[in-house]
Structure 1
Amino acid sequence: MEDCQDCAQTFEDMKKLRGEIGGIEYEHMTEAERLKAAKDPVA
């Protein structure tokens, strides 16, 4: 499941770069919200 590892690394990178997404703390987002954020970045 290398893709899962890649996604996990991407999420870690996003956490480091942004800290927050749309004012919501990343750690408190649901898996679905994380996936949506990864597909539709809110720059």
Structure 2
Amino acid sequence: MSKNSFFISSKNMLGRAHKIINIVSVFFQLCFFVLHCRNFFLT
């Protein structure tokens, strides 16, 4: 029983980590896009 609940909690933590990783990847993509546009407009 406790093993099953531990598995469920670890699964929830993995899902949360996956969401955080998705948010971070989107943030980095936006940063690279902004830097690319800035370089494009400056030159």
TM-score category of the 2 structures, normalised to the smaller one:
0.3 to 0.5
After TM superposition, the score normalised by the length of structure 2 is 0.42
Which structure has more relative contact order (CA 8 Å, sep 6+)? It is 1
After TM superposition, the score normalised by the length of structure 1 is 0.42
- Higher radius of gyration, 1 or 2: 2
Structure whose residues are more often helix by fraction? 2
